[in-house]
């Protein structure tokens, strides 16, 4: 885990992911307005950073204060959130949150986690990120979809829910990383999802390209396909580490029995059962009473011990 994080720091040192220029911290740095930051956090849920950033600019032009949001007709407010996912729900959140601020906090955003989480549209992750961004208080690790998924893919944790991931990570990570880990991994996840060629080039230029490519593979990237797409040539010594290891057993398919294996990434994460037979790697395979399908990004690299 520590080696992964140090390598992600290296890959992210250019700070060129969307979260770096258009994330909530970037929005806060342009105004230092706590209300705007809270609004951005509410809008950012299940929404790309670019859409959140553009919407904040629209709201600023309209007048982004609790009082003005309350004065804005519901249909007008919804139209101002046109680029945000779930805009109807979030428009309602903004109105209710603004009303609570005016009625209970004198129009100011509170600086305690329990108070923030009473506001409409503000959950655990948003409250923690608000405190880290606005007040500098780090009271826990803010876990979003990127951090939750990548922490599991890389076998840092084995959890089903973000709050479980938070608890496990806080047990394993030094407190000095509780704040930085979110933007660090979120940016890595954004580049992994939307800028595959860019992250591949950075991995190949990194201090440990073999481990970097293993991480991409464990996170679901078809590394060989992307390398070919970008016309990139890589030494065999590096690529050989992308192969999957096998452990024995038999698998029944109809009335026939075949040698079977458990597919594992180099990071040690079990994915599913499969068999080494041509033309069957995309088929549903029967193991006992369970139908499984190969999901490996490197499935054609499988081989028996």
Q: Beta 285-287 vs 256-264: how paired, if at all?
A: unpaired
Is 55:84 a contact under the CB 8 Å cutoff? yes
The Cα 259–Cα 261 span in angstroms is 7
Secondary structure (DSSP) of 130-170: HIIIII----S----HHHHHHHHHTTS---SSHHHHHHHHH
Q: Please give the positions annotated as active site.
A: 125
Instruction: Give the position of tokens 């509780």.
Output: 178
What is the strand order of the sheet 270-275 is part of? 250-253, 256-264, 270-275
Question: How far apart, in Å, are the Cα atoms of 75 and each of 27, 47, 81?
Answer: 25, 20, 10
Report the distance separating Cα 85 and Cα 91, nearest Å: 11
CA dist list (Å): 50 to 29, 64, 83, 135, 190: 16, 18, 9, 24, 12
Give the whole-angstrom CA distance, residue 183 versus residue 43.
17
């Amino acid at each position: 885990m520590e080696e992964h994080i140090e390598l992600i720091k290296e890959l992210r040192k250019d700070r060129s992911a969307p979260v770096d220029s258009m994330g909530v911290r970037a929005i806060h740095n342009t105004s230092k307005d706590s209300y705007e930051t809270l609004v951005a956090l509410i809008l950012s849920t299940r929404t790309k950073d670019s859409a959140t950033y553009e919407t904040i600019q629209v709201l600023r032009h309209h007048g982004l204060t609790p009082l003005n949001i309350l004065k804005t007709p519901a249909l007008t407010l919804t139209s101002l959130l046109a680029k945000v996912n779930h805009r109807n729900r979030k428009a309602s959140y903004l109105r209710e949150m603004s009303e609570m601020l005016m009625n209970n906090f004198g129009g100011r955003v509170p600086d305690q986690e329990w108070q923030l989480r009473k506001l409409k549209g503000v959950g655990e992750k948003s409250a923690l990120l608000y405190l880290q961004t606005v007040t500098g208080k780090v009271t826990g690790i803010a876990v979003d979809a990127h951090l939750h998924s990548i922490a599991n893919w890389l076998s840092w944790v084995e959890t089903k829910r973000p709050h479980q991931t938070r608890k496990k990570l806080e047990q394993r990570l030094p407190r000095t990383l509780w704040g930085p880990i979110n933007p660090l991994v979120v940016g890595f996840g954004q580049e992994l999802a939307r800028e595959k060629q860019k992250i591949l080039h950075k991995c190949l230029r990194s201090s440990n390209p073999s481990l970097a490519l293993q991480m991409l593979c464990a996170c679901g990237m078809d590394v060989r396909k992307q390398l070919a797409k970008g016309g990139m040539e890589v030494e065999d010594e590096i690529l050989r580490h992308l192969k999957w290891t096998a452990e024995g057993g038999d698998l029944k398919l109809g009335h026939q029995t075949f040698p079977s294996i458990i597919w594992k990434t180099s990071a040690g994460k079990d994915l599913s059962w499969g068999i080494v037979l041509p033309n069957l790697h995309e088929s549903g395979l029967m193991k006992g009473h369970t139908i499984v399908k190969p999901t490996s990004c490197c499935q054609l690299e499988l081989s028996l011990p």
